[in-house]
A and B are shown apart, each in its own frame.
Chain A
Amino acid sequence: MSGKNSELVDALVNLEEKRVLEMVLKHLDAGKPARKILNDLKKGMDMVGEKYSSKVYFLSDLVMAAEIFKLAMDLIEPKLEISKEREMGTIVIGTVKGDLHDIGKNIMVALLKNDGFTVYDLGTDVPPEDFIRVVKREKAQVLGLSGILTMAVEPMKETVEVLKKEGLRNKVKVIIGGLPVDEKWREIVGADAFTQDAYEGLRIIKGFLGVK
């Protein structure tokens, strides 16, 4: 990365909530295009991600950055031209039945939205049929199943089986996520990939969809 970052980028990277929101409002008042503000925010989020990967930042910092980003987006979204430059892809995501943990999943959702993906977040304790219904309705390309309880492996597996039964398995990539998931889980569930980390998850999903 070269050159100086804008003040807005720096404020986001430093997790200065008030300053970011003030600056977004100031920029909007001054007539700066929403798209340009959004680019700064994205750049800031990318840098937060780098800090997280290099262990300078931790989960709480990521949660804070995602929160600031969301609040800033609420301000600029009404002024943002809807036309998307490109279709990134559609993802259905949720924490599987019997599990209520959602921090990692929520960060995953924030990162995916930040990158322009269309995300259907079904929340927690989601039964297999609900996942499949939304996957079908929205013609999603990726299904993200989250969970951290050992017993989450069963509903994950069940969801993939329903996907198969519906004849959708070869059309939809499945990624499972959560602190304890590993290759063994992936195998048992019959998913295409697993991740313990939202940023890695983002890279994997981009790989699925062939976008950068």
Chain B
Amino acid sequence: MGKSTSTEEAMTPLERINAAMDLKEPDRVPVAPLLDTFPARVAGITLAEYLFDFEKFEKAYEETYLKIGKVDMIDVAPMGLMYFDPFPGMFSTFYFEWYLPGRELPPDRMAEINEHSRENPIMDENGYDLIINEGLYRFFNFKRGSLLDIAKIPEFGMKSVMLKAKWMEKYQAPPMLEGQVAAPYDLLNKLRGTTNFLLDLHRRPEKIIEACDWMVDGLIAIALYMIEMAGAEYILCGSGGLSADFVSPKTFEKFGLPYLKKVLHAVKDKVKRIQCHFDTNWTPLLEYLRELPSKKCYLHLDERTDIFKAKEILGDHMCLFGNLKPSLLSFGTPKEVEKEVKKIIDGCAEGGGLIVSAEVPDDAKFENVKAIVDTTKKYGVYRR
């Protein structure tokens, strides 16, 4: 990697992202931290405002985007939208017990999901049969959201389509995510609570399979409908509950992989890119991910997965996106961030297929987030 001297870059963010995801070398390594709610802190607004007030979100996000130095992917809608998803998405407060700022929580406290104790899950062990016989809608409830919240979605959706167009024109940066698709086991995990779900894997594995088989086509239909309605081109598939931090690779192979494959292959031709947002430790499972759609999918990893191993195994299959440790951004220094970014670039940039990223925690230090962007832009230049 060499040093860039010119301030004008050779590629637009979109061209750069496309090259990296197509596993070709762009002008430099793209950088796209997941800013989450960090812009609220930068702009000095509450999390409630940031999540639910589109105009305030837009202003805060753009301010942060310019302050940290333009990054290569961009958020086009506040997270608030996803909490009122009437379909069973991971963030839907109609299915899961999300506590939201300005609602159940003070306006400045981060949204949290109640992962549920053993004794008090949303769904008891008979729930698998309920899902099989009556459908997932059995677990829809209005406890934390209302029809009014759902009614706001079309307006939010329209605004985000417009913002995408506006920012694409202004900054030529593609959106981070416009829609999402879920694998059945992750929803079951959240409904049962993780501990119960892990016990169910031992106690009633056939019920889990039966429920997953039943759910998967419905989830695909929902995803396709949302993609079409929202005109979504960049979507996300989050998964974590069946990683090696929780279960054996054999268990993932049986309860996870078939469904992930089915879901992702079913939507791949309808979208431009899919962020496989796979948290926790996937290192022993990397080989399996070769079965997911090549190039269409890019792989978000957090620090629990060995990104260098991922490069070795998946380097010719999908672009890697990660994997700075969030706590480094909160507690570390710009020097330490710089060192870690360089390490990732040195190990994973060759031949393209790398986007430097991190999930930016709420309390990250501004100079640390800036250090991700500055270091990648300076150090990540590909030699021609």
| A59-B245, A60-B246, A61-B248 known; A151-B363 Cβ under 8 A | yes
In the assembled complex, B326 has its CB within 8 A of some CB on chain A: yes
In the assembled complex, B12 has its CB within 8 A of some CB on chain A: no
Q: Which of A63-104 contact B (CB under 8 A)?
A: 63-64, 67, 98, 100-103
Within the complex, what minimum Cβ distance (angstroms) separates B327 from chain A? Answer: 5
In the bound assembly, the distance between CA atoms of A103 and B116 in angstroms comes to: 10
A60–B280 CB distance below 8 A: no
In the assembled complex, B46 has its CB within 8 A of some CB on chain A: no
| A64-B198, A151-B363, A153-B331 known; A58-B248 Cβ under 8 A | yes
A4-12, A28-36, A136-144, A178-186: which lies at the interface: A178-186
In the bound assembly, the distance between CA atoms of A206 and B284 in angstroms comes to: 31
In the bound assembly, the distance between CA atoms of A149 and B203 in angstroms comes to: 30
In the bound assembly, the distance between CA atoms of A15 and B194 in angstroms comes to: 18
Within the complex, what minimum Cβ distance (angstroms) separates B249 from chain A? Answer: 9
B198–A60 CB distance below 8 A: yes
Using CB atoms, name the residue of chain A closest to B203.
A17
Within the complex, what minimum Cβ distance (angstroms) separates B254 from chain A? Answer: 12
Of A67, A101, A123, A150, the contact of B199 (CB 8 Å cutoff): A67
In the assembled complex, which residues on chain B have CB atoms less than 8 Å from the CB atom of A103?
194-195, 198
Within the complex, what minimum Cβ distance (angstroms) separates B351 from chain A? Answer: 31
In the assembled complex, which residues on chain A have CB atoms less than 8 Å from the CB atom of B198?
59-60, 63-64, 103
Of A63, A100, A180, the contact of B114 (CB 8 Å cutoff): A100
In the assembled complex, A159 has its CB within 8 A of some CB on chain B: no
- Per-residue CB contact flags for chain B residues 219-263 toward chain A (1 = under 8 Å, else 0) read 000000000000000000000000011111001000000000000
Of A57, A58, A61, A180, the contact of B326 (CB 8 Å cutoff): A180
Using CB atoms, name the residue of chain B closest to A188.
B331
- Per-residue CB contact flags for chain B residues 321-353 toward chain A (1 = under 8 Å, else 0) read 000011100111000000000000000000000
In the assembled complex, which residues on chain A have CB atoms less than 8 Å from the CB atom of B155?
none
Helix, strand, loop or mixed for chain B's interface? loop
In the bound assembly, the distance between CA atoms of A182 and B326 in angstroms comes to: 12
In the assembled complex, B115 has its CB within 8 A of some CB on chain A: yes
| A60-B251, A103-B194, A151-B362 known; A180-B331 Cβ under 8 A | no
In the assembled complex, A146 has its CB within 8 A of some CB on chain B: no
| A61-B248, A63-B199, A150-B363 known; A184-B332 Cβ under 8 A | yes
In the assembled complex, A195 has its CB within 8 A of some CB on chain B: no
A64–B202 CB distance below 8 A: yes
In the assembled complex, B266 has its CB within 8 A of some CB on chain A: no
A64–B199 CB distance below 8 A: yes
Within the complex, what minimum Cβ distance (angstroms) separates B334 from chain A? Answer: 15
| A67-B199, A103-B195, A180-B326 known; A59-B110 Cβ under 8 A | no
| A61-B248, A103-B194, A151-B110 known; A17-B327 Cβ under 8 A | no
In the assembled complex, which residues on chain A have CB atoms less than 8 Å from the CB atom of B280?
179
- Per-residue CB contact flags for chain B residues 189-203 toward chain A (1 = under 8 Å, else 0) read 000001100110111
Q: Which of A170-184 contact B (CB under 8 A)?
A: 179-180, 182, 184
In the assembled complex, B367 has its CB within 8 A of some CB on chain A: no
A59–B246 CB distance below 8 A: yes
A100–B304 CB distance below 8 A: no
In the assembled complex, B112 has its CB within 8 A of some CB on chain A: yes
B331–A185 CB distance below 8 A: yes
Residues of A within 8 A of B (CB): 15, 17, 57-61, 63-64, 67, 98, 100-103, 106, 123-124, 149-151, 153, 179-180, 182, 184-185, 188
Residues of B within 8 A of A (CB): 109-110, 112-115, 117-118, 194-195, 198-199, 201-203, 244-248, 251, 280, 303-304, 325-327, 330-332, 361-363
